[in-house]
C-alpha cells in the first residue's frame, strides 16, 4: 500500500506546485501548456490502447463499450451537468476555466493504464504486502508516481487547484484493486484489464482531441464505457 500512498502524495505535490506556477505564468504560456497537454493525452491514449488491442479476446468489445457507454452517458447528460457546474464555478471565480473537464482528464490519465491497475495488485501480492519501501512489487507504482508528479504539475498549471481532488480518487481507485488482490489473491482478470486499457486509451485520446479544440468529443458522456467490459466479464464468469 506504500506505493499507492506515495503515488497519491506525488499528485498532491505536483498539483500544489502547478497551482503556484499558474499564478505567475502569462496566458500565452498557459496556452502552450494547454496545447502540449492535448498532444500528450493523444500519445498516452494511443499508447494505452494499441498494445492491448493485439491481446484482446474480443476485438469488437471496445467498440460496443464506447457505443453503449456513449448512449448511457448522453441519456444521463453527464457532459451537460459538468458544463453547468463549470459555468457556476466560472461565475464565482470571474474567470473562464474548464476546470471540471480538466479534472476528468486528470483522473483518466492517472487511473487508466497498466501501472495504476496492475501496480496495486503486484504491491499486495509482494511478500511484505507492499509496505517495504524497496519492495519490488511497488516498482510499477513508483514509476507511475514519477509520471504523475510531472503530469499533475502541468494539469494544475492549466486548470488550477481543483486538480488536487484527483489525489483521493486515485487513492480509492488503486485501493480498490489492492483490496481485490488481498481478498481474492489474483486481482482483476487479465482480459478485463486489457479491455479497460483499450477503452480508457480511447477516452484519453478523446480528451486530447477536445483539449486541442479539434472537436468537442464530450468525453464525460463516454465515461460509462468503462463499466461495459467489467459487466461483460462478470456475466461471462457466471457461465
How does DSSP assign 27-78, residue by residue? HHHHHHHHHHHHHHHHHHHHHHHHHHHTT-SSTTHHHHHHHHHHHHHHHHTH
Angstrom CA distances, 14 to 19, 148, 163, 208, 211, stand at: 9, 8, 9, 20, 20
CA–CA gap between residue 155 and residue 161 (Å, rounded):
9
> Scanning the structure block, which residue is given the C-alpha cell 494544475?
156
Confidence at residue 127, expressed as pLDDT on a 0 to 100 scale: 56
pLDDT greater than 90 at residue 138: no
CA–CA gap between residue 31 and residue 29 (Å, rounded):
5
Pair 231, 97: CB distance under 8 Å:
no
Residue 98 is classified by DSSP as -
pLDDT greater than 80 at residue 169: yes
Pair 220, 131: CB distance under 8 Å:
no
Helix ranges (DSSP H) in the chain: 2-23, 27-53, 61-76, 78-93, 99-111, 114-125, 139-159, 166-184, 190-211, 219-222, 227-236
Most confident of 3-7, 21-25, 97-101, 181-185: 3-7
For residues 65-79, average pLDDT: 93
For residues 88-100, average pLDDT: 67
pLDDT digits 0-9 by tens, 193-222: 888 889 988 988 988 898 888 998 888 899
Most confident of 74-78, 136-140, 185-189: 74-78
pLDDT greater than 70 at residue 56: yes
Amino acid at each position: 500500500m506504500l506505493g499507492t500512498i506515495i503515488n497519491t502524495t506525488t499528485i498532491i505535490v505536483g498539483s500544489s506546485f502547478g497551482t503556484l506556477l499558474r499564478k505567475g505564468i502569462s496566458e500565452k504560456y498557459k496556452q502552450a501548456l494547454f496545447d502540449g497537454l492535448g498532444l500528450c493525452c493523444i500519445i498516452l491514449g494511443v499508447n494505452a490502447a494499441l498494445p492491448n488491442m493485439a491481446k484482446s479476446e474480443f476485438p469488437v468489445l471496445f467498440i460496443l463499450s464506447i457505443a453503449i457507454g456513449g448512449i448511457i452517458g448522453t441519456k444521463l447528460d453527464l457532459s451537460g451537468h459538468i458544463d453547468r457546474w463549470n459555468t457556476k464555478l466560472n461565475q464565482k471565480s470571474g474567470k473562464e476555466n474548464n476546470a471540471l473537464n480538466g479534472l476528468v482528464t486528470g483522473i483518466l490519465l492517472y487511473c487508466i493504464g497498466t501501472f495504476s491497475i496492475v501496480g496495486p495488485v503486484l504491491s499486495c501480492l509482494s511478500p511484505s504486502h507492499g509496505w517495504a519501501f524497496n519492495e519490488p512489487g511497488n516498482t510499477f507504482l513508483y514509476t507511475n508516481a514519477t509520471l504523475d508528479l510531472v503530469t499533475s504539475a502541468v494539469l494544475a498549471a492549466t486548470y488550477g487547484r481543483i486538480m488536487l481532488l484527483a489525489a483521493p480518487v486515485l487513492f480509492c481507485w488503486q485501493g480498490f484493486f489492492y483490496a481485490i488482490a488481498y481478498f481474492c489473491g489474483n486481482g482483476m482478470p487479465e482480459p478485463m484489464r486489457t479491455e479497460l486499457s483499450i477503452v480508457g486509451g480511447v477516452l484519453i485520446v478523446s480528451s486530447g482531441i477536445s483539449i486541442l479544440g479539434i472537436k468537442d468529443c464530450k468525453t464525460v458522456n463516454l465515461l460509462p464505457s468503462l463499466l461495459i467490459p467489467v459487466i461483460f466479464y462478470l456475466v461471462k464468469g457466471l457461465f
